[in-house]
Amino acid sequence: MTLYEAGNQTTSTTLAYFIAEMVRHPEIQSKLLSEIDEKWSEISPESSSEEIAEAVKEMKYLDCCVKETLRKNPPVGFVMRELQSNLLLGKYRIPKGTSIIVSQQALHHHPGHWDSPEKFDPDRFS
């Protein structure tokens, strides 16, 4: 039951952030709607689930918008991992088997990894 709830909550959180980003960025929303209109014009009420899934897969800008939403607003703030081998991190030696916490929020907003990390820019994934 916990797994179901966690999966459900992360999906609803991502959708809420996605909608908020579209509201904040009408120019991106407009570009996305153009792509959806173009691809959706190929779909009819008789279309199979496979045809609909294929049309969605072809929506490349939609994919970029979802990826950017997840980057800018990760639904999970951090993850725990157990080191599978020894790690040298700067001047620190961390032994195999140590549990570490990785902050997705910090990583996804680090200016050393992303240009303008606070900017919502789906094109960074194109």
Over the stretch 107-116, which tens digit does the pLDDT of each residue have?
999 999 999 9
Q: Which run of H or E residues covers position 58?
A: none
DSSP state of 99: E
Q: What mean pLDDT is predicted for residues 55-73? A: 96
Does the predicted TM-score (pTM) go above 0.75?
Answer: yes
Residue 10 has pLDDT above 70, yes or no: yes
Distance CA 1, CA 83 (A): 28
